[in-house]
Amino acid sequence: MANRDEQQEGIKGAVEDMKGRVKETAGTLFGNDSMEREGEAQQEKADAQQRVAEKEDEAKRAEQEAANAENRERTQQ
């Protein structure tokens, strides 16, 4: 189930990034500094969400590797 949460977080990040890029571009196009800054902020949020998903995935893989190593150690005894 954790993998699903990680995937959802990554998807949320990708969607947030797209929305941010659209807002930033629209803000630039129409000379709306507030909209442009909002778009940049959304892209930063998206980047953070994607990093969280990646780190959670790395942690899960490390836990699995540790469990595998422990199992190998037990069988060697």
* Sequence spans of domains, the chain: 2-76
Say what the alpha-carbon torsion angle 5, 7, 13, 19 is, to the nearest 10 degrees. -110
Tell me the pLDDT tens digit for each residue of 35-60.
Answer: 999 999 999 999 999 999 899 999 99
- CB of 42 within 8 A of CB of 20? yes
- CB of 46 within 8 A of CB of 20? yes
User: How sure is the predictor about 1, in pLDDT bands with cuts at 50, 70 and 90?
Assistant: very low
pTM over the 0.85 mark:
no
